[in-house]
Structure formats: structure tokens, C-alpha cells
Structure 1
């Protein structure tokens, strides 16, 4: 699949607010039809769809529920046709506050499992529902959202980072298996974003410290990261799969 962005039907999980909303807006800006998935943020998702217009469709589903994912895709198909591109951005409830994070002495497997259920389980559910559709279409795109904390755990958010690391592994193994179907699978990993609901608890001085450490001298915005996601959905990335693009102003190299 090498269709232009204007020809695509894109589903963004966890798109009612924050980074997901910025990604949805970026695709609509480029002419794509976009399904705005949300779990609980109905008011935000409906408001965003109202702002983005007729090419945006809010659709509720918990991505950890395979039946809900199947029903969501069917709803999108009724409005726009089969999705070509999936952006898996959904995040289990989390607050990036280093002072309030769970430390190893109180960390339980349940904390990691809760994050993994959405990050990895949600991605798996999307793949299982979309695989036959991609096969019929002759290709597609899956883009997962990761974190530069895997490469540089400057703040040890153990549960969140472990789940995103597992998602990176699934991204690469899925790229291997889905490649023969013409599906590319890549990850875009951000750092601290200025500002989302999840990063709202981050002290202002932390933003300043991060900005000072980046070559660009600033903290990445959701809109800037969303633009990087566009690349992996575009025809220009048709020969790229199994990759992880870190978008953090150069804080992490490699």
C-alpha cells in the first residue's frame, strides 16, 4: 500500500485528547479520513470531531477488549470504508510525576500488567482484527507510539517503560510477520511532551531541564510528534519497517 495520505482511512486509538488528538488533527489536515477512538473521554472526542469536521468520526472502544475492537472497526467501515492505517496510541491511565511514581519496593506485577494490557494487548487486538482486512487490501500501516525512556530511563517509570519496551518488541516481530502482506509496522517514540494530560503533573522545572539538554533547546510538542507519525503513514516510508524513530529534539541518539 503506497496511497497518499488523502486516500487513507486512519484510526487513532486513544485520540480523544493529548497526543492522540494531535495525531488525529494532523491526518485530517493532510486530507485523510480519521476515526477518533476513545475509551472514557467522550466529551473531548466529540468536541475534537466537531472541530475537525466531516472527515472525523468519534468511536468508543476499549482496545483491551477484542470484541469491542472488532465492533469499532465495523463502525469505521460503515462510514469511511476499511481502515488502511492504524495508530496505536492508547495509554492506560498514567501520570508522569517522578515524585509520585511507583518505586521498586512497592512495584507489583499488576502495575506492569495494567500498562501492558493496553500498550501490548491493545496492539495485538488491533493486529488480529486488521490482518484479514490488510490482506484483502494488499497492505497497510501500523504505527505504534513508544517512549525514549526505553533508551534513556532518566526517570524510572518502571511499569510504563516496561510495557512500552514490550510494545517495541511486538512492533519489530509484527513487522517481520506482516511484511509479506505489504504491511509496514513502525514505532514513533517521544520524550516528555509539552503538554498533555499525562505530562500535566510534571513540574515546570523538569520541562526546563529537559529543554536545556536537547540540541534543539526545547521540549517536543504533541503537534511536532504527530508530524513524524505522518511520515510512517506516507508513501515515502514504503520501504521502512520494524523501525523506531525517536522524536525528542535530539535528547536521545540511536
Structure 2
């Protein structure tokens, strides 16, 4: 990853922070964005690295995807990788899913990655080892009480496969990472920690995952070591989904 230039969304969260750390450790230049401006400030203080560029931004705003891609091109001097990591959780029974809830989840989890990929594709095309990694979820398998979230992540996985087919001839790979229960603040925010720990205890690995483990999978897919891997979903879930 040394010298490679990567745009990361949702960078201030648990997985996003670990991803930024891993990319910097491996020598990449990173433009990181998040809707949480204070979270971006925390990243700046934590890493204090001139290879890290931070841009607080709401990706659902009109023109935001093209704006952040343009920022990456300007600040990094080009683009070799895109990681669509930003996402929101929503849990409610089907009858309690409002149209507004559905629209918000889809806009952030699916529409924004589509627009970012569309904006970044011309810059990525022809770059040696260019790659897109979409952070999906084990939710692509479907669970009760989170119809919007599951549908958004399932759609993101399908988008990943479409990108792999369409952009492959241009030299751009596209893959998805599907985390299981990962020990981040989102477990508490979504009220899933108790369930996650109960389920994780029965997994082959026997525990929740660490954000650093997801980050390592994403960075591997971005790198040249995964140069013949595209259109795939890599489950980082402790063995919850088994082929």
C-alpha cells in the first residue's frame, strides 16, 4: 500500500478509525471523510500525520460525492482506492419502518456509495491496482427487525458485483467486506451488544470481532496481493456464515 492514495468514508467510526490507522501504517495516503466533524478532529489529533487529510462532509448532500472525489484528487494528487465505509443502522419491526426511515438508510448506505463509485471511476480507471471496497454486513443474509438496513446492505453487495463486471475492463477491481458482530460503539448505539455477545459465544471463533480485523481485510482487498480477486464478498464474521 506504500504511496497508494485512498479515499475512505465513515472514517470517524470504530471500523473507519482502524482502517485509517492500518492504511497509514502500510504507507498509504488517505483522504478521510465523515459527517461527524468532531470525530474528524479526533482523528486529526490521534494520528497527526501529514499523509492524512480530513474533510467533514455529509455525503447525502447534493454534489457531495463529486466534491469529495475532487478533494481527494486535489489533495492526494490522484486516486488508487475507494472505501465506502459510511453507514447507519436502523432497527424496527416492519410495520414501524417509516418511509422516512427507509429513505434515510438507503440514501446513506446504498445511494451514496453508488454516487461515489460513479464519481471516482474515471479517476480510478487505468490506475495500476485500482480498487473499490464496499463495507457491507452480515446483514446481507437477512434478519428480522431491520428490513431497511438489510436491504441496503444487500443492495450494496449487488452493486459491488455490478461494479466488478463493468469496471474490470478498465482495470478497477470491486469487492465487499461483510463484517459480523464487531466490537464497536455501534453495538451499543443499536442495542445489539447483548445479542451480539450471546451469538458470538456460539461461533467457531467464539467472540465478537475487532475493528482492526475488518480493517486488515479491507486493506488486503485494496492491495496488489488481491489483484485477481474481484466481485467477491469476504465475510469477516468469526464463522457465522459458512460456505
| Residue equivalent to 1:98 | none
**Runs of at least 4 residues of structure 1 off by over 4 A?**
none
Contact 2:181 2:200 in 1 (8 A): no
Instruction: Kindly indicate whether residue 84 of structure 2 is the aligned counterpart of residue 88 of structure 1.
Output: yes
1:147 Cα deviation from its structure 2 partner: 0.9
Task: Determine helix, strand or coil for the equivalent of 1:200.
Answer: helix
TM-score (norm 1): 0.88
Residue 223 in structure 1 maps to residue 212 in structure 2: yes
Q: 1:136 to 1:237 in 2, by over 3 A?
A: closer
Cα distance, 1:121 vs structure 2: 0.9
What is the RMSD of the two structures over their aligned residues, measured on CA atoms?
1.8
Q: Closer, same or farther in 2 for the Cα pair 1:187/1:216, shift >3 Å?
A: same
Per the normalisation by structure 2, the TM-score is: 0.92
User: Displacement, 1:71?
Assistant: 2.0
Question: Which SS does the other structure have where 2:60 is aligned?
Answer: coil
Which runs of structure 2 are paired with 1:1-254 in the superposition (5 Å)? 5-39=1-35, 41-52=36-47, 53-65=49-61, 67-92=63-88, 94=89, 101-135=91-125, 137=127, 140-151=130-141, 153=143, 155-196=144-185, 198-201=186-189, 202=191, 204-254=193-243
1:127-158, Cα deviation, whole Å (9 max, x unpaired): 121121122536611100111122252x5311
**Compared CA separation, residues 87 and 222, structure 1 to 2 (3 A):** same
Change (3 A) 1:193 1:232: same
**Alignment partners' CA distance in 1, 2:111 and 2:78:** 22
1:204 shift after superposition: 4.7
Give the CA deviation at 1:78: 2.4
CA distance in 2, matches of 1:11, 1:203: 29
SS in 1 for 2:132: strand
**SS of structure 2 residue aligned to 1:113:** helix
| C-alpha separation in 2, matches of 1:166 and 1:78 | 31
Number of residue pairs aligned between Structure 1 and Structure 2? 241
Please report how far the alpha carbon of residue 54 of structure 1 lies from its aligned counterpart in structure 2 after TM superposition: 1.3
Unpaired runs of at least 5, structure 1: 96-100
The 8 Å contact of residues 142 and 150 in structure 2, kept in 1 or not, is answered as no
Give the Cα–Cα distance (whole angstroms) in 1 for the partners of residues 15 and 118 of structure 2.
24
